[in-house]
Amino acid sequence: MAPDSPSSLRDRDPDAPPLHPSGDDVGKPYLHDVRFLTDRHQQVAGVFVTTTAVRPADEATAVPLSLALREGTRAEHESAESSGFVEQLLGGHLDRDAYAALAVQQLAVYTALEAAGARLVAAGADRGLVFDELTRVPAIETDLAYLLGDDWRERVVFLPATLAYTQRLEACGDDLSLYAAHAYTRYLGDLSGGQIIKRMMQRHYGFEQDGIAFYDFPEIHKLKPFKDVYRERLDALPLDEAQREAVVEEARVAFRLNQAVFAELGAARAQA
């Protein structure tokens, strides 16, 4: 296996993500907006935290949800990573335009995901999994301004698979368990394998800092302790067994949605 083979990402870090991350809106310019949360968190041991969740007593001996998610999505995770577009991009066989096309799709996905998190909090849900420090949309917008120019909002086009993904994410604002599945898939991956992806983009396509702000988390001082806190929050969600299984299944759906986006990105490259 080549050193830069995407299939090795999960071996290096079990939380490595697939890359990040229909209908009438295809081809329309970017018009979305997200209401971002502004209240700050307490900082404990270098990690920003919010309210402390408590594990229900009847779940004390259950397999941790974070572990169930990791093991339960292994096949989908590896399948997404092995898509042709991902392998070519991470192997250095594409170009900055391909990376920019991916960033455009990530914009739509994270806009929908972060809007869902904001709606959950506004509705009174425990914000244990909603961290301001993880917000990605401003970073993606900065990257797109660098990659596409100041008029990037008029130039972005969301693929049908991406729009299908965002439609699925819109339901997350009404269901904490659905949000947990998609947030796990995106954010823990960004904090883990995403850091490897960043180095590959620097190595193969000459990025330094501009254009890859998506992979930087300046408000998180140490990634490992933060990820530990995030997993603890997942494990403490007050879910029964059926709900836990639903979270794992929704995470599988998230990986399949990612894979569909990669397939369309690859097809678009082949037609270019």
pLDDT digit string, tens, across residues 139-158: 999 999 999 999 999 999 99
Cα–Cα distance between 80 and 260 in angstroms, integer? Answer: 9
pLDDT band at 125 (very low <50, low <70, confident <90, very high): confident
For residue range 2-51, list pLDDT tens digits in order.
Answer: 434 444 455 455 555 555 443 344 444 443 333 332 333 333 333 333 33
Mean pLDDT of the chain: 83
pLDDT at 244 over 70: yes
Query: pLDDT tens digits for 65-101?
Result: 999 999 999 999 888 887 899 999 999 999 999 999 9
Q: In the chain, which ranges are continuous DSSP H helix?
A: 9-12, 65-72, 74-81, 84-90, 96-122, 137-148, 152-155, 160-170, 176-183, 189-191, 193-205, 223-235, 241-271
Determine the pLDDT at residue 233: 96
Answer yes or no: is pLDDT of 257 > 80. yes
Helix axes 241-271, 74-81, angle to 10 degrees: 10
pLDDT at site 183: 97
Whole-angstrom distance, CA of residue 217 vs CA of residue 235: 23
Q: What is the pLDDT of residues 188-200, one digit of tens each?
A: 999 998 999 999 9
pLDDT at 198: 96
Proportion of the chain above pLDDT 70, given as a percent: 78
% of the chain surpassing 90 pLDDT: 69
At residue 48, the pLDDT reads 35
Which of 247, 263, 253 minimizes the C-alpha distance to 19? 263
Residue, of 39 and 260, whose pLDDT is higher: 260
Joined together, the tokens standing for residue 216 give: 């930087």
- Tell me what pLDDT residue 30 has: 42
So what's the pLDDT on residue 36?
30
160-203, pLDDT tens digit by residue? Answer: 999 999 999 998 889 999 999 999 999 999 999 899 999 999 99
Residue type, 227: K
Q: How far apart, in whole angstroms, are the C-alpha atoms of residue 8 and residue 29?
A: 36
- The tally of CA atoms less than 13 A away on the side-chain side of residue 160 is 7
Q: Which residue has the higher pLDDT, 35 or 103?
A: 103
Closest CA relative to residue 140, chosen from 268, 2, 22, 30: 30
Domains in the chain, please, with CATH? 11-34+66-271 (1.20.910.10)
